[in-house]
Structure 1
Amino acid sequence: MNVFVINLPQSKDRREFQVKQLECLKLEYTFLEAVSIHDISDAQYEAQGFGWQRPLKKVELACFLSHKKAWEMVSQSNTAALILEDDAILVADIQKILKELDASFNNHQPDLINLEVRSRKKIIGKMPVYSSKELKYNLFELFQERTGTGGYILFPTGAKKLLDKTKRVAPATADAFIFSTYELNAYQIEPAALIQEDQMPIYGLVAHEQFESVIGRSEHFKPEYKSIVEKLSFKKRRLMGQLAMAIRYVQVMWKAKKRDIRLDQDKFKVE
């Protein structure tokens, strides 16, 4: 399985951290140069940054385009890949997990497996579809996710579905775009096998953040609108998005449960 690490060349501290982490974990990897806000012209931003439920920040559009580059690499190589943002922290036994996941699906191969936990409940299957007694983790169907693209395994079938969607749907935040693609056969691993660095204090893994945020989290972003008409247009899109999520929940509620994903602190190597 390939490992792609999305990284801006100027983020040298994150690159150095990932080199140290991945070599310690004995994973072969490739750095994928992230799209920078300086790579996005004003014309491109106007064309691609205003088709979602609110205006995207340039850094959010750059993040989306960076993930799209990773999807293209998965599609071109026709090989599954672990896609990481450069602030991702992995569990100590990730190599064994990847090997097992890569060999465990012969007839019903998933499109995407999410490894992450990020302070929000997820809608997952009530019962696991796969369990590893040796590595002590379970896989659940993932029906609804709201935030987090720090790390996920993408299979060629999933890459095709996401790339096909980019041809007919405007860019969004990377997590919103991925997890509103309900045709994906998506799964969640538990205990979580990855956490982004800014979440580590919340889960008791470190006292405070180590890296300065580059992507710019959107949880508290207040958009500005050019006019009342534009604001109403975005509000309509947001309502449609909320309706789609509600319909999704109704469709799966008989076999799903909304809950937090467990994290095992002992599985992480924290220095």
Structure 2
Amino acid sequence: MFDIYVISLPGSPRRASIEKVLADRGLECQFENAFDARSLDGDAFAELCDPMEATMRYGRPLSRGEVGCFYSHRSLWPKIARSGRAAIILEDDAMLDDAFFESVLHTSESALSANADVVLLGRSKLARRHAKITYVYEPLMRASRVGRLWIGVPFKQWTSGSVGYWISASGARKALDHACGRIGRLLDDWPWHRDHGGLRIAELRPYVVWEAFETMRSSIASSRDVLSKRRSFAYEMALKPLRVIRTGGRWLVVALLMATASREKMYPHHE
């Protein structure tokens, strides 16, 4: 099985909850103290983050919670890289499905590493009851079967979240190489990790890790809401027809990719 790390603020009551869930399955985890950037004074925080880089990409600076989140995960990657073993990183508000224990933990490390450096096991701010419609809107391109898992790359991988992900040792080394220095990106800006760091980022279907955002209010979400502009209801309604059209186009692309893959398998090219 993979090593399991849980990132949590020291003294958080969430620790006991997720520790019990894992212990009930006969599993242990290693808690990693999250970094609380809210405790920094202005000068110390300015040294840690790059607001200009963040504003150029997101139209706003990063909140202290977002900077602390990135720093917390980045501080854990060296341990995984040194271990030479793949690991699963969870945040302490993670809720775990049975498939997490029965399928993900028993998947071959070498098989996963052959397909990805990082596999996202869940998605931020997604309730279980909305998962099926999300799978419709966000299909995977060229999904691959790895053991009992389906993994692939979705059309949209923007801020998919970091509530739970698998990362290989080599993936941790890649992440460290490109994500050093002042923090000017969101941790879950996975396209940036892909394009800037060369990481192969895949997602799991169906998801097996869920964020308990409805019962556990996140300090990151609170501080981010202050800095972000909210979309109006009218704007959201105007987008709905476009989303339906976009979804149809995505599934057409998936069908074409599947047809191409089947044809290549049936009629392989010979040198």
Report the TM-score, using the length of structure 1 for normalisation.
0.68
Residues 159-170 of structure 1 aligned to structure 2 (within 5 Å): 159-167=172-180, 170=183
What's the % identity of the aligned pairs?
A: 24
Q: Which has the larger radius of gyration?
A: 2
Question: Is residue 154 of structure 1 aligned with residue 184 of structure 2?
Answer: no
CA distance in 2, matches of 1:191, 1:89: 14
CA distance in 2, matches of 1:81, 1:190: 19
Q: Match for 1:108: what amino acid?
A: A
Relative distance call for 1:75 and 1:217 in structure 2 (3 A) is farther
Question: Is residue 187 of structure 1 aligned with residue 199 of structure 2?
Answer: no
Which residue pairs with 2:186 in the alignment? 173
User: Deviation of residue 215 (structure 1)?
Assistant: 3.1
List per-residue Cα deviations over 1:50-75 (Å, max 9, x = no partner): 13232111111111100111212211
Question: SS of the residue aligned with 1:195?
Answer: strand
Question: Is residue 7 of structure 1 aligned with residue 8 of structure 2?
Answer: yes
Residues 76-155 of structure 1 aligned to structure 2 (within 5 Å): 76-103=82-109, 105=111, 108-118=114-124, 119=126, 125-130=140-145, 132=147, 135=148, 137-142=149-154, 144-147=156-159, 148-155=161-168
Q: 8 Å contact 1:123–1:256 — kept in the other structure? A: no
Question: SS of the residue aligned with 1:163?
Answer: helix
Question: Is residue 19 of structure 1 aligned with residue 19 of structure 2?
Answer: yes
User: Deviation of residue 24 (structure 1)?
Assistant: 1.9
Provide the alpha-carbon RMSD of the alignment. 3.0
Which residue pairs with 1:37 in the alignment? 37
Q: Which runs of 5+ in 1 are unaligned?
A: 199-208, 225-251, 258-271
User: Deviation of residue 174 (structure 1)?
Assistant: 1.3
Question: SS of the residue aligned with 1:167?
Answer: coil
Higher mean alpha-carbon deviation, 210-219 vs 58-67, is at: 210-219
Q: 8 Å contact 1:83–1:152 — kept in the other structure? A: yes
Task: Considering fraction of residues, name the structure with more helix.
Answer: 2
Relative distance call for 1:221 and 1:76 in structure 2 (3 A) is farther
User: Deviation of residue 154 (structure 1)?
Assistant: 0.8
Q: 8 Å contact 1:123–1:145 — kept in the other structure? A: no
User: Deviation of residue 116 (structure 1)?
Assistant: 0.5
CA distance in 2, matches of 1:92, 1:27: 13
User: Deviation of residue 103 (structure 1)?
Assistant: 4.0
Higher mean alpha-carbon deviation, 114-123 vs 2-11, is at: 114-123
User: Deviation of residue 125 (structure 1)?
Assistant: 3.9
Question: SS of the residue aligned with 1:84?
Answer: strand
Aligned match for 2:221, one of 194, 216, 224: 216
Which residue pairs with 2:79 in the alignment? 73
Aligned residues: 215
Q: Match for 2:54: what amino acid?
A: W
Residues 256-271 of structure 1 aligned to structure 2 (within 5 Å): none
Relative distance call for 1:29 and 1:162 in structure 2 (3 A) is same
